[in-house]
Structure formats: C-alpha cells, structure tokens
Structure 1
Amino acid sequence: MPGFFSWISGLFSRNAPTPQPASETRLFNPSHSSPDGEQSQQAELVAQLEDHLFCWLLDVQPASLRKNPEKAEQHLAELERRLVENTMEELPRRPGSLPQLMRALANESTERKELSRIILSDPSLTDQLLKVANSPYFRLGDHLIESVDQAVFVLGVDGIRKVVAAALMRPMMAARNSREALFAQRSWRWGLTCAWASELVAQIHRQDSSGHFIVGLLPALAYMTIRREMDRICRADNRGHEPEPALLRIALARYQWATCQLLANVWGLPPKYHAWLMAAERPTPRKSHRALTKGLLIGTREMLRHARQRNLATEDLARIVYLEPEQLERVRGTLNRALEDGGPAKA
C-alpha cells in the first residue's frame, strides 16, 4: 500500500501543516466560514468540549493535562515514525470475516439466509452480535433477540450492518488489564454514542446513515490504539512506567485522524469513508453538512452530560453544529433515551 503510506508520510512532511500542540483542538475542526469573531468563539467552545472529553477519558483534572511530560517529543516522534512506517504493534488486525460481510451487506440482492450463514461461520462474531443486538442502542421493543437469523430479520440490512460493525470492534476495545480498564470502558461508551449521533445526523442530511455509524466508531478505536502504542513506547524507554496523562492527551489529539485513516485503509473500508474522515479533519468552508463532525460534537456533549461531567450549554452546542433547533433536539432526545436505558454501557 505504498500510495496510502506516502499520503500518511505527507501529513508529517515539511510541506504539511505542523502537528498542532495540545492546547489546540484536533478532534473538532469547525470550518472557517464564519465571521472572525464568531469563528473565534466557536473555536473556543469546541476546544473546551475537547478538554472536558480528555479529562473524562483519562480520569484526571485539567491541571494534569497542562504539564510538560518528560521526553515528550522523543516519545511522540517514535509514535509518528511507527504510524508513518506502518509498524504500530497495537494496530488492530482486520477481522477475518469483514471483507465477506462488507460485500454481502453492500449487495442489495443478498438474501437473509446467506447473511446469517456468513455471520454464523464466525462463532466469536455470533456471540458478540447477539450481545450488541440486545443492547439498548439496537434492540427494538421488549423482545429478546435469540438468534442471528432473528436479528437479521428484525433489524434489517441497515440495522444489522451497524450491529456487525459494533460487534466486530467491541472486542478490540475490551480492556486487557486493570490499567486501561476505565479508559477502555469510557472510550467505548463515547465511541458508540458518537457513532449513533453521526448516523442520526446523516439521516437528517439524507446521507449514508449506516456508513456514518461505522466511521463514527473509528475515533474511539483510534484512541485505544494510540494509548496502547504509547504504553509500549514509554514502558520500553522508562523502565516500565506508564505514559503520563499529558503525553497521552497530546498523542491522542495529534495523531487521531491519521490513525483513523490507517485503520480504514488496513481494513479495506470504502473510499467514501476516507473522504468523510478527511472532511472532519480538514473541513472545507461553507460545508455545513458534515455529519461526522456534528455527530462527534453532539455525541461527546451528551455523553459527558450523562456522565455528569463538565460539558457545554445547550445553546452553545447549537452554535457549533448548524442544525435546526428541532433537528438538534430530535438527535439529543434519541441519544438521551438510549443513555438513560443503559446505552453503550451495556453494549
């Protein structure tokens, strides 16, 4: 894949924008189409939201994220090298059943029986799929889904595509040890909430909603990947010491989108998924319909609100997502009902 990795390398070349420091927002990148004063206020709001997110994910106070970590640039340079050269040890491998499933789900003529057969050929996927299908975010009504065939019938192709995506990614987000348990749990809940929000916004804009759901999961998986890779780097260099929260915050903010693109490429996801990721990372002025960015903003705010963490006022959220008031309230209402029912915590 030399072409793709040349592109990744170009992100960090001297002709590319210098990676932004931790004080600048990187997850939420509003387009520069508003008047300067309003643009500055929007940038401040999204930076605040990102700060609140990292404090929650890393379980620290804001002051901890403002420290200067020892050997920070050395460790970040090593992470960048691994990313550019595709030598990251913690990059999740493509699930074996993914290509066949993607083809089957993309083909409108695929019969329910064939789709069930593909899923059942992977026992671990079957188990995960039933767990996810019965979670509050996906379950329709009060009846328990007891079989793959029933899940395919009840949820439909679009619904099962989302459940399959969540079921494939869920094991990759499971904590391996007590050190990463809280981060893994919170990242998964946040990722699933953002994916759901991205899908809902895509429906409003009449875009590919299930595709946006899949892409909406990638930032959380990228966070888990970066955290594990930085843990490897720091433990090898610091005699077993974990990376400091401030270092993790910089690494996550600086390299999240490149890691998302790498995941999408390694897994062979469709080109339009790469385009959505690029649009979120480098928004174009006057493009106010970016479902992924809006989904990340709304999902993050509602997840933090539900977790009783610092977030944004509703009126401030409305200023940065460019949705009609009734549209925003519809998305928020759907998310909050799922969160109150247990939402991603049970998925």
Structure 2
Amino acid sequence: MPGILSWIRHKLFPAPESHDGRSAASDSRNHGRTLLSSGVGDVGEHRLPLAKLEDHLFCWLLDSSPRQIAEPSPLTGKVLRELQNRLDHNALKELPRQPLTLPTLMRTLASEATTRQEVTSIILSDASLTNQVLQVANSPFFKVGDQPVNTVDQAVFRLGLDGIRNVASASVMRPMLAARNSTESAFAQRAWRWGVTCARSAELIALVNKQESTSYFMVGLLPALSYLTLRREVQAIFKRKFPDQQPSAQTLHEAMRRFQWATAQNIAHAWNLPPRYHALLLTAERPAPRQERSPLNDGIVLGTREALRDAHQRNLGDDELLGLLSITPEQLDKVRHVLSRLLAEGFSSR
C-alpha cells in the first residue's frame, strides 16, 4: 500500500509464545511487514490505525466478524509452516501461470518508440485478451466519454498509450482474479475491486507527485492476486492434509498477513516481470531509512480506505487517514475525488 504505513519490526513488538505452541510468528502484526504496515519505518504511533484498517479489510474480504478473525485455530501454525516451506523452495502449487502475451506486451508498452499499431497488433493476436481489453476499456474505471469502445484500435486511440498500458495490465490480470467456483466468488470479487482501487490510487498518487505512474498500476494489482493465491494455497493444504476440515477465517487471515509480500514477489518472478516491478515491491515492503515513501504504499492505504467506504464497512476517519499518508490534503482531495466517482459508477458494492 501507499508509502505511509509502518513496517513494524519484530524487535519492536516481540511475539510471545502461545500456550498452543504457535509462536507469534503467526501474528504478523508482531512479525515482519504486512501490506498495511509497510513504508513508514519503526513509528509506533501509526500501529493502531493501521492495524484497525487492516482488520476491517480482512473482515470484509473474508466475510467474517472480528471475533472469527481472532479466534485461534490449532491448525494455523502447521499451515503457516507448510506455506513458509513452499515459499522457501519456490513450490507454491497455486501460483498463477504467466499469461501468454504478457512478456511481449510488457516489452512493447515499456518502449518509448512503441506505436499505436504495434499495441493493437499484439492485443488482437490473442482473442481472449482482445475481449478482456474491450470489457475493461468500457468499464467505469477506464471509460473515456459516453460512447462505447467497439474495437481495440478505438481503445488505443481514445486512451492513448499510457491509458492502454493500464487497460492491458488490468485485462491480463482480470482472468487471474476470477473465481473458480462459488465458494470463492465473493472473495474474488472483493479482491478485484480492492486491487483495482489500490492500483488506480497508486497510479494517481504517482502522477500528483510527478513520478512515472504506469508501473505503479500493474504492480498495484499484485497484492490482490497474492491474497487470492494464498487463499487457494491454504485450501489446497487443507484438502491434502486435513480433508475433513475447512480453514478458519483466522488461518486464512494469518496466511495472507504473513506471506502477502513474498507471494507478490513470487508472482512477479514467475511472470518474469521487468526488474522495476521487483524494485517497486521491495521498496514498498522495506523502505530505506529516510527514503521517500512509495506511491504504492500510499496507494494501498488510500485504496483500502476508499474500497471499504464504498462497501459501507467499518473504516478510518479522515484525520486518521491523512495522518498515515505522505501526500498533502489538497492532493488527497484530488485523488479521492477520482476514486469516489469511479467506485460509484462501476465498482460499488451497493
């Protein structure tokens, strides 16, 4: 998330051993950096509002109460150790495969010499990507004007190369975040809405800070995909090791808290994304001392807050939000105005 939130070090908030043998390594609020606790440094005063915002997010994503999220499960420690082992050995079973056209598309869109015709040709070479691009280009988050976009050439022309970069990124990612079955439908839909809001927020914050913005949109989608990947990974572990049981909200919660950054990096590596994407993820997770906070951190924080507000979930107040961000109140108003309009037009949960 946008570069505001503190990454809380293990030494600042030591994790006591629990009576059931689970160490607080399974409590990522006391262990390492979570998406919402990255980017501020060891600033304890931010811990409470960030923890609140993260708790609200997981209650919504997992459709669970705070009590369910906090209820200890005797299987959580075993699942976390299995996930850690899989990550250590690059052996995640549910890691999404690289989209076929992604490498060519990334190289083409990254080049300043790219022409509209080249982009159009690459998109048209993949029928499923063509359909996705047209759907995304006509969605409220990307639509330009009142007239529908009927062809890929129209989309590239109306959106421009910067706009089509984001549409292409979202189009490649959308099938990856689609539900496989009814049991993950609500989670996948909410993760997609949250991910696009965070990605667009990171891009807009980069723009107001006069930074290159298009990379932030693509990398801003990876946390949502990491959450869905981890949910599927936990489900697969239960199916193999505990076939008579289902993962609790607390187990899913802890798995996502603890391994979200590592999983996002795994996806970027598996997809052979350009080094800049790895660098943006690493900078957001582990900012250097006195380094400016990343638009990715700020984008995730603001995107989370706005997605929860649109879904009528518990949330942070305006003063708490501003205290977490590295942008000015005027910049915040500009970005929120765009996000609020886009959410109201097409991503509202109402």
State whether TM-score is above 0.5.
yes
Q: Deviations over 1:79-105 (max 9, x none)?
A: 111122122111001111011111111
Aligned partner of 2:34 in structure 1 is 26
Aligned partner of 2:4 in structure 1 is none
Gap regions ≥5 residues in structure 1: 1-16
Q: Which amino acid aligns with 1:255?
A: F
Gap regions ≥5 residues in structure 2: 1-14, 16-23
Identify which of 71, 77, 83 aligns with 1:79: 83
Shift of 1:23: 3.9
Q: In terms of mean alpha carbon deviation, does 110-119 or 165-174 score higher? A: 110-119
Q: In angstroms, what is the RMSD of aligned CA positions?
A: 1.9
User: Residues 165 and 29 (structure 1 numbering): CA distance in 2 closer, same or farther, change over 3 Å?
Assistant: same
Q: Deviations over 1:6-43 (max 9, x none)?
A: xxxxxxxxxxx995614446112355568xxxx32211
The answer to whether the 8 Å contact 1:21/1:254 transfers is: yes
Determine what percentage of the aligned residue pairs are the same residue.
48
What SS does the aligned partner of 2:37 have? Answer: coil
Residue 304 of structure 2 corresponds to residue 300 of structure 1: yes
User: Residues 61 and 345 (structure 1 numbering): CA distance in 2 closer, same or farther, change over 3 Å?
Assistant: closer
Q: Deviations over 1:283-321 (max 9, x none)?
A: 233233310000000000000011000110011100010
List aligned pairs for 1:278-297, cutoff 5 A: 278-297=282-301
Q: Which amino acid aligns with 1:147?
A: T
Aligned partner of 2:219 in structure 1 is 215
Identify which of 94, 98, 109 aligns with 2:98: 94
Identify which of 69, 74, 77 aligns with 1:70: 74
Number of equivalenced pairs: 326
Shift of 1:204: 1.6
**TM-score, length-normalised on structure 2?**
0.89
Identify which of 180, 196, 203 aligns with 1:199: 203
Identify which of 305, 313, 316 aligns with 1:312: 316
Q: Which amino acid aligns with 1:171?
A: P
Residue 126 of structure 2 corresponds to residue 122 of structure 1: yes
User: Residues 44 and 239 (structure 1 numbering): CA distance in 2 closer, same or farther, change over 3 Å?
Assistant: same
The answer to whether the 8 Å contact 2:95/2:267 transfers is: yes
Aligned partner of 1:226 in structure 2 is 230
The answer to whether the 8 Å contact 2:39/2:293 transfers is: no
Q: In terms of mean alpha carbon deviation, does 125-134 or 99-108 score higher? A: 99-108
Residue 277 of structure 2 corresponds to residue 273 of structure 1: yes
Runs of 4+ in 1 over 6 A off after TM superposition: none
The answer to whether the 8 Å contact 1:193/1:344 transfers is: no
Q: Which amino acid aligns with 2:121?
A: R
Could you tell me how far apart the structure 1 residues matched to 2:159 and 2:150 are?
A: 13
Q: In terms of mean alpha carbon deviation, does 278-287 or 241-250 score higher? A: 278-287
**TM-score, length-normalised on structure 1?**
0.90
Could you tell me how far apart the structure 1 residues matched to 2:348 and 2:264 are?
A: 21
The answer to whether the 8 Å contact 1:29/1:283 transfers is: no
